[in-house]
Each structure stands twice: as structure tokens, then as C-alpha cells.
Amino acid sequence: MKNKNTYYITTPIYYPSANFHIGHCYTTIIADAIARYKRLEGYDVCFQTGTDEHGQKIENKAKESGVSPKEYVDEIVQNAINLWDSLNISYDKFLRTTDDIHVKTVQKIFEKLYEKGDIYKGEYKGLYCTPCESFWTASQLVEGKCPDCGRDVHEVKEEAYFLKLSKYQDRLVKYIEEHPGFIQPESRKNEMINNFIQPGLEDLCVSRTSFSWGIPVTFDQNHVVYVWLDALSNYISSLGYMSEDDSEFQKYWPANLHLVGKEIIRFHTIVWPIMLMALDLPLPQQVFGHGWLVINGAKISKSLGNYRDPREYICDYGVDAVRYFVLREVSFGNDGTFSEEALVARTNADLANNLGNLVNRTISMGNKYFNGSVKNLKITEEIDADFIHIINDLVNVVREKMNILHVSEAIAAIFEVLRRANKYIDETTPWILAKDDHLSDRLQTVLYNLLESIRVCACLLAPFMPDTSIEILKQLNTQHQELEYLDDHCYELSQPTPIFQRIDVK
């Protein structure tokens, strides 16, 4: 039985690519923020990502490059690892579908479902979109093209194995209806039920014979396992399901959250739960389908050539400015627009001004007026109570927002407290207090309150902007990680250095 204190969160496993864009980073940055937040709350978190390395698309690309598929993926998989490193992604597991443990598990899953009669042999006739690795029926096409990516589909006819989706249709609908949190946001749930499940599920073709770059079906070596069956299994193969040591599977499964982009929610809320039902396994608690990052209204895409390498943004603006922008700008679940102008505007207004100036001014005043030693001398005024109440309430607001994955609103709440702290400076006018020796204790109390607001905000910012959080706490020179206003400790401040520079728009 899974312990309530564990939290298993996954991103999709990525097609290895030499051309990742900021849209790809989106799923991973959000997952990272959620994983870090859950760790902050004390959960034993397992955060998994990885690469989806089989399929015709990869086989074709390797052929074009004149290398074997394995050589091809070995070389470019490093791109994902490097990119996640430069974005400070704190994954615990990185699964490659070419890993031995994964290959063996997929083979065992396939055998088990075949023995059970949920996978059977037949003939596949139909339409296939190679870029999406998706089968379609003629009625699902949009103007004769793939409904997901708008590209050409081609006819395929081959002997194949099928997974009995139809057998589980009613059970799936019942499950979705009885577990309102399973598919989120709500709109995606309705879309899945009305557009895909209710019209009737056709059995899914789960093996291919027309190419060989895939996991071989053990009892019928002409066949390789369909990439989506292969890929979806990653969520349990990585935990050792059906292997000699399945202790992590026992510990972490079922997943708390599969975070996926909206275009692949269909696989995660129809095929995956049915695979799990057929395997007699519990279903994940939630599949959340987020919207896309778009540029000028269009999906970011290689063919449109409308993007720069995300590493260039990190280089130009800093990793936390990029993380902040992506997390803050997009209201979760909806599409959001990425633009460098908006990134610069947010960096200047929120990071350099609201946050950076506050930290710099406050620490400078602490150094200037009290040589960096600031205690709570408790010369309070009415205005303090409200300020302290807001600081103490922040952890609750952030928890409430994060529990429903409203990441942008959680961050907004932190920045609202920072804004309030700036206002507290205007209201208490420390520079005027500093002119009168009799008011020195009041001045120290004011600075203490400000430092506490900054400390609590810095601790709560850690999941979203980990480096910035560490840097602020370093400048405050404190080890305290409590998420509430502390009454009584003594700051020995370091020298401030600006944490975000204003970016000049040329």
C-alpha cells in the first residue's frame, strides 16, 4: 500500500531532439516547480522524466544521418539532459526507453496482456501519421490530414496485435465519472468523454512489422511494440514493476500526477488507464493536460522556425528569469504566449524592481543603520499587525493554489507580499526614522519585519526560482527555513549585491 507521504510526479518522456524549444521546457519546468514544492512540504518525492527513443520517426532520422538508431539516440539524448541541467530541473529519475530494464518490462507487459487475452492478433488496415506515431480512422482526419499536427497520413496494411480498448470502455467511463479529479482541467475531461470515448473505442493496434526500431515482441519476433504502449509503460518500468526488485513500484505507485501537454492527454486518459486496468493495477490519481506556449498565436515549431534555442534565453536573461516567466505568464491549463518583450517586461517590473530592489534596499538599510545586526526590538505600531498577518498567511495561500496546480497564482501571491513589503517601506519611511535617535528601536523593528517578509518569500520562492532563493537567503545570511514570521532571531546581514539587473530594451 502506497504511503501517503510519497509523491510520484512525471513529465512525458521526450522524443530525443536536437531542436528543443521553450514549449518543450514548459512541461518540465512546471513539473520541477511542483516536485520542489512537494519536497518543501515534506513529501518523499519521486520526479521522473526521460526520453522516448523508439519508432519509425527515429529510425528514419537515423537513416538520414547514416548511423544506427541506437547511435543516433545515444548522441542526441544528451541534449535533453543538458537542457534540463541548465534549467535546474531536479528530476530523480531519467528513463530512456532503450534502457534494458524498460525493454524487459515492456516485453513482460505485452506477454501478460496477450496471455490474458487483452492483446490479440489481427490485421491492421488504416491510416498512420508518422510524426505523431498515431493511427487514425478516415472520419477522424481533418481535411484529409492528421488531426493533431495537420500533416499527411499514409495508408498501412499489416498483420498486427491489438489491445482490447473496447472491452474496458464502460469501466473507464465509470472510473472517470467517479473520480472527478482524474482528468484535469475539467474541460479536457469533457472533451475526452464526448469526443473520444462515448462515440466508441476501437481496439488499438499495438505492434508494427513495417520497421524494426522498437521493442521486439518476444513470442513473435517480426513485430515490434507500438511506441505509445512502449512509452506509456515508462511510468512503471522505471519503478521496477515486474522486475526482481519492485520496492520502488510498491512505494510510489500509483502516480500522484502525470503532467502532459494537451495533445497527448488522449493517450494518458484512455490507452494508459486501460493498460493499467488490464494489468490489474491502480490508476494514477491525476492526469493534468496543460496548454501550449505559443508564439504570435502559433504553436512553437521547427517548421515555422519561430523560436530560438532555450539556452540562448537562459544565457541572455538567466535561468530564473526564464523559469519565472514561463511559470508566471501562463495561467495553468490554458495556452500562453511566449515573447522576449514580455519576458523582459516581467523581469524588469517583477524581478528587478519589486523583488530585487526590495532585497537590496532593505539589506542596505540594515547595514547602514545597524552595521548589519538587526533584531526584533518589538516597538510595534498598528500597521505591523496587518503586515505580519499577510506574511504568515502566505504559506496557506501558496499551499491552496499549489494543491490545485495553479502555479501562476501561487507565484503571484508571493509577489503580492513583496509588493506589500515595498508599500510598508513607503508607509514607515525608515529614512525619516533614521534621523531621530529616539526612533532607532522602531527603525530596527521595521527593518526586522521587512527582513522577515523577504526571508519567508525567499523560502517560498525556492520551488520556482531555486537559485534566486538561495542567493537571497545567502545575502540575509540566515539558515532559517521556517515559512512563517519568526518573532525572535538576530540577523547578521551580508553585503547586498543586485540579484536582478534591469534589462535595457534597445
Write the binding mask 149 to 178 for ligand MSP: x where contact by CB under 6 A, - elsewhere.
Answer: ------------------------------
Q: Which residues neighbour 367 within 8 Å (Cβ) at sequence distance 6 or greater? A: 493, 495, 496
Q: Which three cell numbers stand for residue 7?
A: 509523491
* Dihedral (CA of 213, 217, 135, 154) sign: positive
Contact 369, 434 (CB under 8 A): yes
With respect to ligand MSP, which residue has the nearer C-beta, 207 or 376? 207
Phi, psi values for residue 377, rounded to 5°: -90, 0
Cell 495508408 appears where? 155
CB-side neighbour CA atoms (13 Å) of 380: 11
With respect to ligand MSP, which residue has the nearer C-beta, 213 or 292? 292
Residues 30-69 that bind ligand MSP (CB under 6 A): 52
Residues 326-385 that bind ligand MSP (CB under 6 A): none
With respect to ligand MSP, which residue has the nearer C-beta, 97 or 422? 97
Strand partners, 374: 491
Chain center to CA of 2 = 23
Q: Does 15 bind ligand MSP (CB under 6 A)?
A: yes
Q: Does 23 bind ligand MSP (CB under 6 A)?
A: yes
What CA–CA distance (Å, rounded) separates 300 from 21? 7
Pick the binder of ligand MSP from 58, 153, 260, 271 (CB under 6 A): 260
Q: Does 27 bind ligand MSP (CB under 6 A)?
A: yes
With respect to ligand MSP, which residue has the nearer C-beta, 12 or 466? 12
Q: Which residues neighbour 252 within 8 Å (Cβ) at sequence distance 6 or greater? A: 2, 6, 8, 46, 239
With respect to ligand MSP, which residue has the nearer C-beta, 177 or 312? 312
Count of residues touching ligand MSP (by CB under 6 A): 20
Q: Quick one: which segment of 34-42, 65-73, 256-264, 369-377 binds ligand MSP (CB under 6 A)?
A: 256-264
What CA–CA distance (Å, rounded) separates 106 from 223? 13
Least distance CB 465 / ligand MSP (angstroms): 20
With respect to ligand MSP, which residue has the nearer C-beta, 231 or 410? 231
Q: Does 14 bind ligand MSP (CB under 6 A)?
A: yes
Pick the binder of ligand MSP from 8, 9, 13, 275 (CB under 6 A): 13
Cell 542526441 appears where? 76
Pick the binder of ligand MSP from 39, 93, 251, 299 (CB under 6 A): 299
Residue among 60, 249, 229 at smallest CA distance from 160: 229
The residue at minimum Cβ distance from ligand MSP is 261
H or E segment at 475? helix 466-476
Contacting residues toward ligand MSP, per CB under 6 A: 12-15, 23-24, 26-27, 52, 231-232, 234, 260-261, 263-264, 292-293, 299-300
